[in-house]
């Protein structure tokens, strides 16, 4: 099996085309399919006229050039046979035959991998929640996967990196290009602390039709996808629906249902998405087998390393306040048990006897109202 023949298959079949699955089912070695010519196309049996014409017209030289271009750029080319190929991605339909990878290919199989996505037109609340969730995931040691778009995606990558975590960006263009152009520096940061990947030929410019194709990789690589903010109809909603179809867990951040950028997340919640307020809410869904190695104390440990005096800090004295008028009962119950001592969502759940989902919604209400503040480790105090 040659690298060039794998790359040829990806180009000839086109990204996202399900005939790749049919071809590899009959010809596990792409070189064998390439050499079989028309008889191979007939043997597969599901290749239509247009696909057959394109397969015949795609020369091996095009694939050789793609591999050479990627490698000259500093990227690696990995196939479905590679040990570094994301194992979660192998389980989806039309998984890419090859991935062009800039950065650390070994991080592509970090577990758990969680997709964090959202609207480009983010609100202040959306930005804050993306920071909390992606930063919490990265700080705990999970892999954050997103699409490097403006808005929520960019915030998620940056928050994960700031927390010392690893992140993977899936591009909707070739690996040698950057979209949006504003994210050139972010792309470099991600490649230095994770990986940037693409299935498109290395010098392919971004195109509107590429992004829905790209989105299946974001969800396919991930065990679950968290939607922070999304309009009713958006690329983010497409990613969430792909995650549902792929059997992934889908999470959504509750918010003001009257806000346009919250209508998509509200719809997801109605359709069975799990409401979350922080990284721990997400990771608790995957059990100890996948999350036992994670540590929610990493950020605090780093803070103590930088400032040893922080280890001896005394907790502030509690400041009890009566709940303000207008809060829901759940939010009021949560407010009563909070003071200046940071408490996690689990601790709040134990103190209030509210379910984790009720606590998540109540905490969101209190945060929106500016009545509480998150601190390190995704714990909360009175604002």
CA distance 338 to 318: 9
Q: Do residue 47 and residue 169 come from a single domain?
A: no
The pLDDT > 90 percentage for the chain reads 58
Domain final residue pick, 53, 73, 93: 73
Domain final residue pick, 225, 260, 291: 291
Q: Do residue 217 and residue 256 come from a single domain?
A: yes
Gyration radius from the chain CA atoms: 23
In a domain? residue 96: no
Q: Is the dihedral angle over the CA atoms 365, 368, 371, 373 positive or is it negative?
A: positive
Work out the pLDDT band at 303, boundaries 50, 70, 90. very low
In a domain? residue 301: no
CA 102 centroid distance within chain: 17
Is 121:224 a contact under the CB 8 Å cutoff?
no
Average pLDDT, the chain: 87
CA distance 157 to 323: 36
CA distance 319 to 135: 28
Q: Do residue 182 and residue 284 come from a single domain?
A: yes
In a domain? residue 84: no
Q: Do residue 228 and residue 268 come from a single domain?
A: yes
Q: Do residue 224 and residue 362 come from a single domain?
A: no
Q: Do residue 236 and residue 285 come from a single domain?
A: yes
Angle at 201 between CA 197 and CA 207, to 5 degrees: 85
Q: Do residue 128 and residue 1 come from a single domain?
A: no
Q: Do residue 283 and residue 321 come from a single domain?
A: no
- Relative to beta strand 194-198, strand 166-170 is parallel
At 52-81, the pLDDT tens digits run: 999 999 999 999 999 999 999 999 999 999
In a domain? residue 116: yes
Q: Do residue 214 and residue 110 come from a single domain?
A: yes
CA distance 55 to 9: 8
CA distances from 244 to 114, 240, 248, 250, 289 (A): 14, 6, 6, 7, 22
How large is the average pLDDT for residues 282-304?
A: 65
| pLDDT computed for residue 378 by the predictor | 66
CA distance 144 to 157: 7
Could you tell me the CATH number of the domain that includes residue 361?
Answer: 1.10.10.10
Q: Do residue 284 and residue 353 come from a single domain?
A: no
Q: Do residue 22 and residue 161 come from a single domain?
A: no
In a domain? residue 298: no
How large is the average pLDDT for residues 146-164?
A: 94
Domain final residue pick, 32, 49, 73: 73
Q: Do residue 363 and residue 235 come from a single domain?
A: no
CA distance 262 to 267: 9
Angle at 111 between CA 71 and CA 145, to 5 degrees: 60
Verify cis geometry, omega within 30 degrees of 0, for the bond prior to 96: no
Following DSSP, what letter does each residue of 329-347 receive, concatenated? HHHHHHHHH-SSS-EEHHH
At 187-211, the pLDDT tens digits run: 999 999 999 999 999 999 999 999 9
* Residue 36: HSE in the Cβ half-sphere, 13 Å Cα cutoff: 18
In a domain? residue 179: yes
What ranges in the chain are assigned the alpha helix state H?
3-13, 19-26, 30-44, 49-57, 60-73, 124-140, 152-162, 184-192, 210-221, 235-245, 263-270, 279-283, 288-291, 298-306, 329-337, 345-352, 356-368
36 CB burial (10 A radius; 0-12, 13-18, 19+)? middle
In a domain? residue 368: yes
In a domain? residue 136: yes
Q: How many domains does the chain have?
A: 3
Could you tell me the CATH number of the domain that includes residue 260?
Answer: 3.40.50.450
Domain that holds residue 52: 1-73
């Amino acid at each position: 099996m040659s690298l060039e023949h794998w790359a040829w298959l990806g180009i000839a079949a086109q990204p996202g085309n399900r005939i790749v699955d049919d071809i590899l089912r009959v010809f596990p070695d792409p070189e064998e399919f390439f050499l079989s010519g028309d008889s191979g196309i007939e043997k597969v049996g599901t290749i239509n006229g247009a696909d057959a014409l394109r397969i015949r017209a795609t020369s091996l030289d095009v694939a050789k050039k793609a591999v050479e271009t990627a490698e000259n750029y500093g990227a690696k080319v990995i196939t479905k046979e590679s040990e570094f190929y994301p194992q979660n991605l192998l389980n989806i339909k039309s998984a890419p035959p090859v991935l062009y990878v800039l950065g650390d290919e070994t991080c592509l199989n970090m577990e758990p991998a969680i997709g964090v996505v959202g609207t480009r037109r983010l609100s202040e609340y959306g930005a804050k929640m993306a920071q909390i969730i992606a930063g919490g995931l990265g700080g705990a040691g999970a892999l954050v996967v997103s699409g490097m778009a403006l808005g929520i995606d960019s915030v998620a990558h940056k928050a994960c990196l700031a927390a010392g975590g690893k992140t993977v960006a899936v591009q909707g263009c070739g690996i040698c290009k950057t979209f949006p152009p504003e994210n050139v520096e972010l792309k470099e940061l991600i490649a230095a602390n994770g990986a940037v990947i693409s299935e498109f030929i290395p010098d392919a410019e971004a195109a509107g039709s590429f992004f829905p194709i790209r989105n299946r990789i974001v969800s396919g690589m991930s065990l679950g996808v968290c939607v922070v903010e999304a309009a009713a109809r958006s690329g983010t909603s497409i990613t969430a629906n792909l995650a549902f179809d792929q059997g992934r867990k889908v999470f959504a951040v509750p918010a003001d249902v009257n806000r346009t950028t919250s209508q998509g997340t509200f719809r997801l919640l109605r359709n069975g998405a799990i409401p979350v307020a922080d990284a721990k809410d997400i990771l608790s869904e995957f059990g100890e087998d996948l999350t036992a190695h994670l540590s929610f104390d990493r950020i605090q440990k780093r803070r103590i390393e930088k400032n040893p005096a922080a280890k001896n800090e005394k907790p502030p004295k509690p400041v009890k306040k009566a709940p303000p008028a207008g809060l829901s009962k759940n939010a009021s119950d949560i407010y009563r048990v909070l003071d200046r001592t940071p408490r996690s969502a689990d601790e709040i759940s134990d103190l209030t006897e509210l379910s984790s989902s009720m606590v998540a919604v109540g905490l969101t209400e209190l945060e929106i109202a500016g009545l509480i503040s998150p601190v390190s480790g995704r714990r909360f105090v009175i604002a």
